[in-house]
A and B are shown apart, each in its own frame.
Chain A
Amino acid sequence: MFYIYCPYCGEHREEEEFHNHGQAHIERPKDPDSCTDEEWGNYMFFRKNPKGLHHEIWVHAAGCRKFFNVTRHTVTYEIKEVYKMGEQPKVVAE
């Protein structure tokens, strides 16, 4: 079980109040009409699966219903940091 800090509520809550929404910081191609099939395919379907630090989106579904980002270690499951939408992670893989 995770005990997750919601940056909007400003306190820790149990995992059952949250949902994971997968990889964070996915950027949509700026001009979809002129990008290649490969670029579009990577954007649509391909996701990272790192052994180590992973930046992912969570939503405080049963609470304030806001989305935010979490940097989590996929081996230890340790949550390294939590940051709001629009912000960048401070803890990054070397």
Chain B
Amino acid sequence: MSDVNSEAPTVALMDQLPDASIQGQSPLFHADLATVAKKGPKTGGVVFKEQALMGQITLRLNAENAEQLKAAEKVLGVSLPTQPLTSVESGDVSVRWISPDEWLIIVPGLKAFDVESALHAALSGHYQVVNVSGGWTVFMLSGKNARDVLQKSAPVDVHPAAFPVGKVVTTVFAKSSAIIRRAGDDQYELVVRRSFADYLWLWLQDASREYGLVVEA
């Protein structure tokens, strides 16, 4: 494939994080999960934890372009999963296949700008890197009834036979949407829109009531 932009593109790069004098607030800041965790039950079938203030980057490139794949791998330390609905994880970097030419990368929030800059420096040709950290937040759902809560919320098959560890699906979730990844045996990661974070937090509390909900801060 001939590249559309073979000349170096002009990309406006800006670190979205303010300096340390301004405290970062997750979309569930108002819910005061630390207090909820302290006062709430310590055992239950479902465990909820917000992985607050992570850095999210969407990367788009041609999955058949070996040069681009190699450049991305060099920056991320892992090769992009080109198999549909799969993910890879290495240290504090995780990469999800979300479309044949698109990946969602999650890194610690403070690392996002570095990774974004490094991707721009390493990649050439027709590609896209966008720091979307402000648009999403991450919920971790675990416990022996976590799967039951997913079954109430999404139309995808989450039976272990159809949803092995590492699989990623982007789907309808409680009339909103989520990128769901099975992170472990009883562990699921939900990447959700920040504007729906409060609604989904309320939904998850309701959906896990019958199993007992433990909140971790």
Q: Give the interface of A toward B (CB within 8 A).
A: 8-11, 13-14, 16-17, 62-66
Instruction: Return the contact of B84 from the options A9, A14, A17, A65 (Cβ within 8 A).
Output: A9
Complex contact B170–A62 (CB within 8 A):
yes
Q: Give the interface of B toward A (CB within 8 A).
A: 84-85, 98-100, 102, 155-156, 169-172, 177
Complex contact B172–A16 (CB within 8 A):
yes
DSSP class of A's interface residues: helix, strand, loop or mixed? loop
Instruction: Return the contact of A64 from the options B98, B155, B172, B177 (Cβ within 8 A).
Output: B98
Give me 26 A-to-B residue pairs in the complex whose CB atoms sit less than 8 angstroms apart, sorted by A's number: A8-B84, A8-B99, A9-B85, A9-B169, A10-B84, A10-B85, A11-B84, A13-B155, A13-B156, A13-B171, A14-B156, A14-B172, A16-B155, A16-B172, A17-B171, A62-B170, A62-B171, A62-B172, A63-B169, A64-B84, A64-B98, A64-B99, A64-B102, A64-B170, A66-B99, A66-B100
DSSP class of B's interface residues: helix, strand, loop or mixed? strand
Complex contact B170–A63 (CB within 8 A):
yes
Within the complex, the shortest CB–CB distance from A7 to chain B, in Å, comes to 10
Within the complex, the shortest CB–CB distance from B190 to chain A, in Å, comes to 14
